[in-house]
């Protein structure tokens, strides 16, 4: 690939470990509904398709159907407690700083809402590295639909891009646009990308070689 490549990042499981706060908010909701709480590995396996699906999967685990009010209550709780235990993965900030310094435009494409993403990125000190956020409510489409990723790339006015994520949704969206992908192994999912990063420090080298 020639020129500066736009870098489109997933959020949860890629830039940040948000599972502890997602689990805490989810378990508070379940407890209010008289349902058992879920352990960390179970919740991690449910992450990746947005809040609505997360809540639906949690209720379905107990043979229940989540209602719109359940999702709203979860969202309100989570928004108020989104960075209590959430942490940026080791090496991410250094990698972002290096990539931005090399002239790459960086953006986020996530199934999390755009508003929640913006708040989290600001509170964790990562917002300054990114020129755009395309959330799960920013378009009519959501990953793995490639049109969600296409919107994020278009917003940057980029001619070439790479998708970086920890979930099959990210890799599938990239394949749908025929753009390269980097699967990061420190997140929540299992998938195969064009390239694989085992630590954040791998990212600049992989991208330099595109």
Q: What is the DSSP string of 27-43?
A: HHHHHHTT-----HHHH
**Mean of per-residue pLDDT scores for the chain:** 96
Q: What is the mean pLDDT of residues 89-110?
A: 97
Q: Which of 10, 12, 105, 166 is catalytic?
A: 10
**6-17+87-208 and 19-80 share one CATH topology?**
no
Q: What average pLDDT does this structure show over 5-28? A: 97
pTM beyond 0.85, yes or no: yes
Give CA–CA dist 60/194, Å, rounded: 34
How many CB atoms lie under 10 A from the CB of residue 32? Answer: 11
* Residue-range domain boundaries for the chain: 6-17+87-208, 19-80
151 falls in which pLDDT band (50, 70, 90)? very high
Burial readout 73-83 (b: 16 or more C-beta within 10 A, e: otherwise): bbbebbeeebe
Q: pLDDT digit string (tens) for 44-84?
A: 999 988 899 999 999 999 999 999 999 999 999 999 999 99
- Whether the predicted pLDDT of 146 surpasses 70: yes
Strands 106-109 and 87-88: unpaired
- CATH architecture assigned to 6-17+87-208: 3-Layer(aba) Sandwich (3.40)
175-203 tens-digit pLDDT: 999 999 999 999 999 999 999 999 999 99
User: In this predicted structure, what is the pLDDT of residue 179?
Assistant: 97
Which distant-in-sequence residues (6+ apart) come within 8 Å of 127 by Cβ?
118, 121
Has residue 105 got a pLDDT over 90?
yes
Pairing state between β 87-88 and 16-17:
antiparallel
Q: What is the pLDDT of residue 131?
A: 96
**Please, which pLDDT band fits residue 4 given cuts at 50, 70 and 90?**
confident
Over range 136-144, report the average pLDDT.
96
Q: Superfamily assignment of 19-80 in CATH?
A: Putative phosphatase; domain 2 (1.10.150.240)
pLDDT of 1 > 70? The answer is no
Query: Is 10 known to be catalytic?
Result: yes
């Amino acid at each position: 690939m020639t020129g500066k490549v736009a870098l489109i990042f997933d959020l949860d499981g890629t830039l940040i470990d948000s599972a502890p706060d997602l689990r805490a908010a989810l378990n508070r909701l379940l407890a209010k509904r008289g349902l058992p709480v879920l352990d960390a590995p179970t919740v991690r396996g449910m992450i990746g398709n947005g809040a609505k699906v997360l809540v639906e999967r949690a209720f379905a685990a107990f043979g229940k159907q989540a209602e719109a009010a359940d999702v709203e209550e979860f969202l309100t709780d989570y928004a108020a407690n989104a960075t209590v235990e959430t942490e940026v993965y080791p090496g991410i900030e250094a990698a972002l700083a290096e990539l931005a310094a090399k002239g790459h435009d960086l953006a986020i494409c996530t199934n999390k809402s755009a508003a929640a993403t913006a708040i989290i990125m600001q509170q964790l000190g990562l917002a300054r590295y990114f020129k755009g956020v395309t959330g799960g409510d920013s378009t009519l489409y959501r990953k793995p639909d490639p049109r969600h990723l296409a919107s994020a790339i278009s917003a940057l006015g980029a001619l070439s891009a790479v998708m970086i994520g920890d979930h099959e949704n990210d890799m599938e969206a990239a394949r749908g646009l025929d753009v390269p992908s980097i699967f990061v192994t420190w997140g929540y999912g299992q998938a195969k990308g064009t390239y694989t990063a085992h630590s954040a420090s791998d990212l600049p080298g992989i991208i330099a070689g595109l």
